[in-house]
């Protein structure tokens, strides 16, 4: 193979790649936080809500799990304007990411909630705890601790899947890489660098999640 690597044109656009990586981090972090809230609410509704609520949540989860993420993005970005709702590419990307991860988080958290023994809930009620206190301290926190590895893996997968939003011109890392490649024609070098950046982002999020676990769960257990 007669190929000469030239990373100079790629490194010359390092500021653009940094901007794209920062947008990827920002979109992913916001989607993780909002998606976690959506997941908790949907899990609560699915486990203890009335039948119509459970039906709607099940329909939402099945739609997300059985349709491609790219189609969901197109539906939000290109479909909503038909209903008079126009979103910028970045906002549409965020909404699509929350819509997607919320469904998967709901199923993961639901599994954690159902792993809590009913005797623990009854003990909390017997001690005079209010239903919200029972849910917060006896149900939700142990449930999140149980499913934490699966939940964080899903969040990291969401960050990696954010590359798909480049299809609607959201200027995250992959979109910037595509622009640089079209200008420099150094596809191999561009995507080698981008691969390394995504690897670094994954390791960074993993380290952050490990720190959160130690603060929220492991430290409390040690005490």
pLDDT score recorded for residue 119: 85
pLDDT score recorded for residue 122: 82
Please determine, for residue 223, whether its predicted confidence score (pLDDT) is greater than 50: no
Measured distance CA(24)–CA(151) in Å, rounded: 19
Greater pLDDT, 180 or 126 = 180
To the nearest whole percent, how much of the chain has pLDDT over 90?
79
Please determine, for residue 219, whether its predicted confidence score (pLDDT) is greater than 70: no
Please determine, for residue 2, whether its predicted confidence score (pLDDT) is greater than 80: no
Q: For residue range 100-143, what is the model confidence (pLDDT) as tens digits? A: 999 999 999 999 999 888 888 888 888 888 878 888 888 888 99
Measured distance CA(142)–CA(140) in Å, rounded: 6
Please determine, for residue 187, whether its predicted confidence score (pLDDT) is greater than 90: yes
When pLDDT is averaged across residues 140-164 and rounded to a whole number, the result is 95
Q: Does domain 16-222 have CATH number 1.10.1040.10?
A: no
User: CA-CA-CA-CA torsion for 33, 35, 41, 45, nearest 10 degrees?
Assistant: -160
Per DSSP, the three-state class of 118 is helix
Q: What is the mean pLDDT of the chain?
A: 92
When pLDDT is averaged across residues 7-20 and rounded to a whole number, the result is 95
Min mean pLDDT across 60-64, 208-212, 216-220 is at 216-220
Please determine, for residue 220, whether its predicted confidence score (pLDDT) is greater than 80: no
Per DSSP, the three-state class of 30 is helix
Residues in CB range of 98: below 8 A, 6 or more apart: 30, 31, 34, 35, 38
Greater pLDDT, 57 or 169 = 57
Please determine, for residue 179, whether its predicted confidence score (pLDDT) is greater than 70: yes
pLDDT score recorded for residue 38: 97
Q: For residue range 43-92, what is the model confidence (pLDDT) as tens digits? A: 999 998 899 999 999 999 999 999 999 999 999 999 999 999 999 999 99
């Amino acid at each position: 193979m007669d190929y000469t690597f030239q990373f100079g044109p790629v490194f010359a656009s390092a500021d653009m790649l940094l901007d794209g990586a920062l947008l990827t981090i920002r979109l992913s972090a916001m989607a993780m936080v909002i998606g976690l809230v959506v997941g908790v609410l949907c899990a609560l509704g699915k486990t203890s809500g009335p039948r119509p609520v459970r039906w709607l949540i099940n329909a939402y989860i099945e739609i997300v799990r059985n349709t491609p993420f790219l189609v969901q993005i197109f539906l939000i970005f290109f479909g909503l304007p038909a209903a008079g709702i126009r979103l910028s590419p970045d906002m549409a990307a965020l909404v699509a990411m929350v819509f997607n991860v919320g469904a998967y988080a709901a199923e993961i958290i639901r599994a954690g909630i159902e792993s809590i023994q009913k005797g623990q809930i009854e003990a909390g009620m017997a001690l005079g705890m209010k239903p919200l206190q029972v849910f917060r301290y006896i149900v939700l926190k142990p449930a999140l601790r149980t499913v934490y590895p699966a939940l964080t893996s899903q969040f990291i997968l969401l960050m990696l899947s954010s590359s798909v939003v480049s299809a609607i011109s959201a200027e995250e890392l992959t979109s910037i890489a595509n622009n640089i490649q079209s200008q420099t024609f150094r596809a191999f070098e561009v995507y080698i660098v981008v691969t390394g950046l995504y690897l670094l982002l994954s390791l960074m999020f993993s380290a952050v999640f490990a720190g959160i676990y130690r603060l929220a769960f492991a430290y409390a257990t040690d005490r």
